[in-house]
C-alpha cells in the first residue's frame, strides 16, 4: 500500500483539526489561522495554503467522511431493494438516518456536530446543505423518501422535510456529544436511534388535519 506523503498527512491533520474546531466552536467563530494552530502547523497560513477558504475546507471534510457513509447507505438501499422494502417509508428513513447515527457513535467522532454547525451556517435549512457540495447521495435518498410518502401535497410536505432535517441532525449531534462525554443517556444508542427513526417517519407520514375553516 502506498504510504501517505507529507502533503497528504498535513492536509489530513488540518482537515481533522478544522472538523473538531467547527464542531465545538462553530463555523464563523473559527478562523483558518486557528485551524492551522490546532493542527500543530508552524506556518499559521497552512490551512489557507491547502484549502484556500472555509467553504473549500467544509467540502473537503464532507468528502473525507461521506465515502464511508454513502457506501453504507448504498448497501442498505441495495438490500432494501432486493427485499422489496422500498415502499416502506420507515425503511427509507432508516436508510437515511442510520449511517449518520453509526458515525455519531464511532469513537472520537466530531462529524455530526460539525454537520450541525454547518446546518446553522446555512440558516438551519436542510435544503441549503447540498449547495456546499458532497451531499448528493444523501439528497438522492431524501428525495426517494419524500417521493414515496403517502399522498402529501408539496405545500404540506415542504416544511415537514425542513423539520425532519432539523430533528435528525440535532438529535444525532446530541447523541455524538453524549458519546464523547461518556454520559449515561436515557436510552441506549440503538433505542435512541430507533426512536428517532420512528419520530421522523411519523412526522413525514402523519395525516394532515383539516383546518376549522375547511381549507386543506
pLDDT tens per residue across span 24-57:
999 999 999 999 999 999 898 999 999 999 989 9
Tell whether 210 is covered by a domain. Answer: no
Model pLDDT, residue 46? 93
Domain that residue 150 falls in:
55-205
From 12, 33, 52, give the residue that closes a domain.
52
Round to whole Å and give the CA distance between 69 and 125.
21
Q: In this predicted model, what pLDDT tens digit does every residue of 121-140 receive, in sequence order? A: 877 665 555 555 556 666 67
Q: 76 and 128 share a domain? A: yes
pTM: 0.84
Q: 42 and 69 share a domain? A: no
Tell whether 7 is covered by a domain. Answer: yes
Model pLDDT, residue 104? 95
Q: 23 and 124 share a domain? A: no
Asked whether 74 and 66 are in contact (CB, 8 A), the reply is no
Q: 72 and 37 share a domain? A: no
Model pLDDT, residue 205? 85
Model pLDDT, residue 191? 94
Q: 95 and 44 share a domain? A: no
Q: Which residues of 149-163 are buried (b: 16+ CB within 10 A; e: fewer)?
A: beebeeeebeebbee
Residue whose C-alpha is closest to residue 105's, from 185, 180, 22, 20: 180
Model pLDDT, residue 7? 54
Tell whether 67 is covered by a domain. Answer: yes
Model pLDDT, residue 105? 94
Model pLDDT, residue 210? 66
C-alpha cell at 215: 381549507
| Radius of gyration, CA atoms only, the chain | 19
Q: Could you say which residues of the chain have pLDDT below 50?
A: 1-4, 6
Q: 153 and 199 share a domain? A: yes
Which helix (H) or strand (E) element contains residue 122? none
Model pLDDT, residue 1? 39
Q: 22 and 71 share a domain? A: no
Q: Based on the structure, what is the number of domains in the chain?
A: 2
Residue whose C-alpha is closest to residue 25's, from 152, 143, 113: 113
Amino acid at each position: 500500500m502506498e504510504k501517505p506523503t507529507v502533503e497528504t498527512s498535513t492536509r489530513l491533520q488540518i482537515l481533522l483539526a478544522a472538523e473538531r474546531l467547527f464542531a465545538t466552536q462553530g463555523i464563523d467563530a473559527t478562523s483558518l489561522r486557528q485551524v492551522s494552530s490546532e493542527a500543530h502547523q508552524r506556518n499559521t497560513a497552512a490551512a489557507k495554503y491547502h484549502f484556500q477558504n472555509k467553504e473549500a475546507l467544509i467540502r473537503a471534510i464532507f468528502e473525507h467522511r461521506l465515502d464511508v457513509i454513502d457506501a453504507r447507505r448504498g448497501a442498505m438501499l441495495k438490500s432494501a431493494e432486493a427485499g422489496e422494502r422500498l415502499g416502506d417509508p420507515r425503511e427509507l428513513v432508516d436508510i437515511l438516518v442510520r449511517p449518520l447515527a453509526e458515525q455519531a457513535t464511532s469513537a472520537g467522532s466530531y462529524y455530526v456536530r460539525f454537520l450541525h454547525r454547518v446546518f446553522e451556517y446555512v440558516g438551519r435549512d436542510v435544503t441549503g446543505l447540498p449547495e456546499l457540495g458532497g451531499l448528493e447521495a444523501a439528497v438522492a435518498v431524501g428525495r426517494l423518501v419524500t417521493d414515496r410518502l403517502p399522498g402529501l401535497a408539496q405545500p404540506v410536505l415542504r416544511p415537514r422535510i425542513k423539520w425532519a432535517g432539523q430533528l435528525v441532525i440535532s438529535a444525532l449531534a446530541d447523541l455524538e456529544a453524549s458519546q464523547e462525554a461518556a454520559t449515561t443517556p436515557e436510552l441506549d444508542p440503538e433505542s435512541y436511534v430507533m426512536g428517532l427513526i420512528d419520530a421522523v417517519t411519523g412526522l413525514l407520514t402523519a395525516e394532515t388535519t383539516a383546518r376549522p375553516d375547511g381549507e386543506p
